[in-house]
Amino acid sequence: MNLFQRLMFHRLHNAEPVDGGAPAAAEPVQASADPAAQVAEPGVQDKPAEGEEKPTGEEKVPGKEGDKPVEEKPKEGDDKDKKPEGAPEKYEFKPAEGQELDETALKEFEPIARELNLNQEQAQKFVDLYASKIVPQLQQKQVEQWTKQTEQWAVDAKADKEIGGDNMTANIGLAQKAFDQFGSPELKEYLNTTGLGNHPEIIRAFMKVGKSMSEDSMVMTNNSGQRSQADILYGNK
């Protein structure tokens, strides 16, 4: 009788030992050599050890596809930290509306812009600034200085011993007479526009011509009896 038969017989018939003594101790159950016969106690192997957490099945296994860290996208404004592309092979400057490029100034500026590694946009801003702000200021300053100079010439002429003083009005009249006789409208406009008409030496020159025109000796000569106005002006004898 094998082990299984003996167990079943004992359970079904509640058999007592043959010798009438105390019930015989159950023989130890031997493990079957057949692995299939070994049946694990339900729920024993599935229980985690004390203090361990039962796996939920949601943990990610390293190395699986899709578990790579997500790269952060650059934030807005990061482009501001990028360096400019630098100086181009050739600068192409454009004049602002109603203005002209100063070619002489550009020839001086281009090497400096290249040395500073300015890109086209940065260099153009300097050109625009020069044309729109610096040049007008320089021109205005030159006009103010020239106006101040012409005013000073007028003061010097009045203070001149030969031109100014009590004879200032008469001497200006003589200069005006000579100018009307020999000066062209273009010369008159030029002297008035530039302010050179106030220069003491211009006044002195025309004053002397006017004074010579008024003297009786202007019409006397050694041979012909008269001298031309050109001879008088240029000192021919």
59 pLDDT above the threshold of 50: yes
Listing DSSP states for 93-142 in one string gives --PPTT----HHHHHHHHHHHHHTT--HHHHHHHHHHIIIIIHHHHHHHH
**pTM given for the model:** 0.50
The CA distance from 233 to 162, in Å, is 19
Q: How do residues 130-189 score in pLDDT, each as one tens digit? A: 998 998 999 999 999 999 999 999 999 999 999 998 999 999 999 999 999 999 999 999
Please report the pLDDT score of residue 99 as a whole number: 83
Residue found by looking up tokens 């101790």 in the block: 25
| 4-10, Cβ contacts within 8 angstroms, sequence gap of 24 or more | none
In a domain, 11, yes or no: no
Among 146, 174, 190, the domain boundary falls at 146
Residues 175 and 237 in one domain: yes
Name which residue leads in pLDDT, 156 or 100.
156
Residues 237 and 166 in one domain: yes
Number of structural domains (the chain) is 2
Segment 8-37 mean pLDDT: 52
Confidence of residue 216 (pLDDT cuts 50, 70, 90): very low
Residues 131 and 101 in one domain: yes
107 pLDDT above the threshold of 90: yes
Residue found by looking up tokens 């049946």 in the block: 39
Residues 136 and 169 in one domain: no
93 class by beta-carbon count within 10 Å (0-12 exposed, 13-18 middle, 19+ buried): middle
Segment 211-223 mean pLDDT: 63
Range of 201's domain? Answer: 160-237
Residue found by looking up tokens 């000579």 in the block: 178
Residues 114 and 177 in one domain: no
In a domain, 43, yes or no: no
